[in-house]
Amino acid sequence: MDTNAAPSAAHAAMQTKSIGPRDSRTFADRCRMVRRTTEQLCEPLAVDDYMLQSMPDASPIKWHLAHTTWFFETFVLSRYLRGYRPFHPQFGFLFNSYYEAVGPRWPRAERGLLSRPSVAEVYRYRAYVDDHFARVLSGLPAEIANLPAELAEQAATISLGINHEQQHQELMITDLKHGWSMNPLHPVYRDAISDAGDPPPLNWVEFDEGLRSVGACGQGFAFDNEAPRHRVFVNRFAIASRLVTVADYLEFMDDGGYHRADLWLSDGWAARCAGDWTTPLYWRQEEGAWSVVSMAGVQPLNPAEPLCHVSYYEADAFARWAGARLPTEAEWETASAGIPIAGHFLEAGRFHPAAAVAEDDRGPLNQLYGEVWQWTASPYISYPGYRPPIGALGEYNGKFMSNQMVLRGASCVTPRSHARRTYRNFFPPGARWQFSGLRLARDCE
């Protein structure tokens, strides 16, 4: 019986480099690669898995496949490919996510009810759109710097679509993981991984007070919410050299962390009580031994690995318990200046954060990217002078600027070329199904 049959080594195919600014491939090649990666991510799945929607926040794989395609159809092909005929008259209704300007749409919580179009038809949809997309791409040069205005707009929209699809690659894994985590048969996506060794010690790295410049400077792709670059006065602070580990968090738990209201924000305590949280998401305990749901099924919990799948509320409570706090966005961006982007990303095929080992301890700050997103103390609001784009694409980021917190870095399911120092990820403070952990900071007197 093969319910949990480990996949073929399909994901190995992804271990090649993906789209990225420092890439020697053409823009068109990088676009094609991203589209292909999305489909490669599905290779270990049964058709049944494509329709799974375990909560309103998560979407079925089938929907991700179609929605990312709809994005190109709507914002690229319909605008820039003369005579383009949409694949199906109702797919705009079914696969629009939240663009009010584009029209009504299928309710988010009911995406799992769409048994049709079938998976097979969604793949035909992708092929149809990719076929037409190739024609648009063929009209662009190998590199997209310094294009004339008309082509620059096309290239920018395509870049947005590609980055959008990369975001959905990450969501496909997080949503699938959530759906499978509820299945008592423990489906398996890839083989188990054994990490060994102890994490390096936690050091505090200090930074002086001063006026800092924060945000994207306009070189290379960035989302609108990363701009404009602006000045922030930052007090003297210290930040931890590495991520908080499972071992660190077990101390908090052993000290009653989930049972001491004084450590929690009021909303956090309410969430903890309503959800009956007593561990991070996906942890289990049997006969004293901790295990965790991973993409390799239920596996023993490794104390050395970065803490993952905690909400902002848990991150905040842990930091308070530790006599520290979360860093602000500005502090994180200050501290990460000049540090290269390295770590385990989607292409590593792990789909699980890696424990830091001594030899990773190469600089003053480690694990800034890859592994887990890091909750910050900063609510997700606009930067001073922020202006969203005109039209439907203006709904991309700005309209979510309330009741969410910023996460920085990148995770083990973020495509490598998608990680950036100025990247602002954001989720509601109670969200736990993303690969989210934390790094500590503290004031310096």
Q: Which stretch binds a copy of itself (CB under 8 A): 97-105, 132-140, 161-169, 346-354?
A: 97-105
Comparing CB distances to a copy of itself, the nearer of 148 and 323 is 323
- Tokens 């070329």 locate to 417
Q: Which stretch binds a copy of itself (CB under 8 A): 23-31, 113-121, 133-141, 299-307?
A: 113-121
Does 127 interact with a copy of itself (rule: CB under 8 A)? no
DSSP 295: B
Does 118 interact with a copy of itself (rule: CB under 8 A)? yes
Q: Which of 9, 47, 134, 217 binds a copy of itself (CB under 8 A)?
A: 47
**Min separation Cβ 52 and a copy of itself, Å:** 4
**Min separation Cβ 345 and a copy of itself, Å:** 26
Rg (CA), the chain: 22
Neighbours of 94 (CB within 10 A): 17
Comparing CB distances to a copy of itself, the nearer of 138 and 402 is 402
Q: Which of 26, 40, 167, 183 binds a copy of itself (CB under 8 A)?
A: 183
Cα 337 to chain centroid, rounded: 21
**Min separation Cβ 255 and a copy of itself, Å:** 17
Comparing CB distances to a copy of itself, the nearer of 221 and 318 is 318
Question: Taking CB under 8 A as the rule, which mask of x and - marks residues 277-316 in contact with a copy of itself?
Answer: -----------------------------------xx---
- Give the footprint of a copy of itself on residues 374-433 (CB under 8 A): 377-379, 381, 384-385, 394-395, 399-403, 429
Task: Tell me the Ramachandran region of residue 397: left when phi exceeds 0, alpha when psi lies from -120 to 50, beta otherwise.
Answer: alpha
Comparing CB distances to a copy of itself, the nearer of 154 and 376 is 376
| C-alpha to C-alpha distance for 76 and 206, rounded to whole angstroms | 46
Does 88 interact with a copy of itself (rule: CB under 8 A)? yes
Comparing CB distances to a copy of itself, the nearer of 120 and 274 is 120
Comparing CB distances to a copy of itself, the nearer of 339 and 400 is 400
- Paired residues of 214 in beta bridges: 230
Does 15 interact with a copy of itself (rule: CB under 8 A)? no
- Give the footprint of a copy of itself on residues 202-241 (CB under 8 A): 211, 230-233, 235
Q: Which two tokens stand for residue 40?
A: 């490669």
- Paired residues of 106 in beta bridges: none
**Min separation Cβ 357 and a copy of itself, Å:** 34
Using a 10 angstrom Cβ sphere, with 0-12 exposed, 13-18 middle and 19 or more buried, the burial of residue 100 is exposed
User: Residue 225 to residues 208, 301, 309: CA-CA distances in angstroms?
Assistant: 27, 36, 24
Does 117 interact with a copy of itself (rule: CB under 8 A)? yes
Comparing CB distances to a copy of itself, the nearer of 89 and 288 is 89
Q: Which of 182, 217, 337, 358 binds a copy of itself (CB under 8 A)?
A: 182
Q: Which stretch binds a copy of itself (CB under 8 A): 65-73, 147-155, 256-264, 335-343?
A: 256-264
Amino acid at 384: P
336 closest CA partner among 374, 310, 380, 309 = 374
Sequential DSSP letters for 397-420: SGGG-SS-EEEEE--TTS-GGG--
Q: Which two tokens stand for residue 347?
A: 């292409």
Does 143 interact with a copy of itself (rule: CB under 8 A)? no
| C-alpha to C-alpha distance for 262 and 267, rounded to whole angstroms | 12
Angle at 84 between CA 80 and CA 89, to 5 degrees: 125
Strands 373-379, 436-437: pairing is parallel
| C-alpha to C-alpha distance for 58 and 357, rounded to whole angstroms | 33
Comparing CB distances to a copy of itself, the nearer of 90 and 278 is 90
Does 12 interact with a copy of itself (rule: CB under 8 A)? no
Instruction: Collect all residues with Cβ–Cβ distance below 8 Å to 103 and sequence separation of at least 6.
Output: 92, 93, 96
Question: Taking CB under 8 A as the rule, which mask of x and - marks residues 316-355 in contact with a copy of itself?
Answer: ----------------------------------------
Does 113 interact with a copy of itself (rule: CB under 8 A)? yes
Phi, psi of 111 (to 5 degrees): -65, -30
Comparing CB distances to a copy of itself, the nearer of 30 and 190 is 190
Does 98 interact with a copy of itself (rule: CB under 8 A)? yes
What three-state secondary structure class fits 248? Answer: helix
53 closest CA partner among 113, 125, 9 = 113
